[in-house]
Amino acid sequence: MERVWRTVAGTPVSCVEKLKMLEQNLAEFRALAQDIVDDAVLMGCDVGQVREVLAHELRCLRSRYGAKD
C-alpha cells in the first residue's frame, strides 16, 4: 500500500521531490529506531518499554517552524 502524505489542509502532497525526501527520512528513522530496539534487547531491556519510550519521545516532538499539532 502506498502512503499518501497530506498537507495541513488535507490535500495530498504531490511534489515528487518532497515525497522522496519524506520517504527517505522515514526510512532513516525506521533504521535508527530498529538499532535502538536491537541494542536495548542485547542489553537485556524489555522491548515493550523501549517501544513506550520511543512512542513518548515521538509524542513530545514539536515543529521548530511553528506549525500547530
pLDDT in tens, 11-49: 999 999 999 999 999 999 999 999 999 999 999 999 999
Q: Answer yes or no: is pLDDT of 69 > 70.
A: no
Cβ 47 vs Cβ 37: under 8 Å: yes
Cα 14 to Cα 20, 34, 44, 57, 62, distances in angstroms:
10, 29, 44, 29, 24
| Whole-prediction pTM | 0.82
Banded model confidence at residue 66, pLDDT cuts 50, 70, 90: confident
Q: Answer yes or no: is pLDDT of 67 > 90.
A: no
Cα–Cα dist 5/53, whole Å: 25
Cell of 64: 521548530
Cα 52 to Cα 4, 46, 55, distances in angstroms:
26, 10, 5
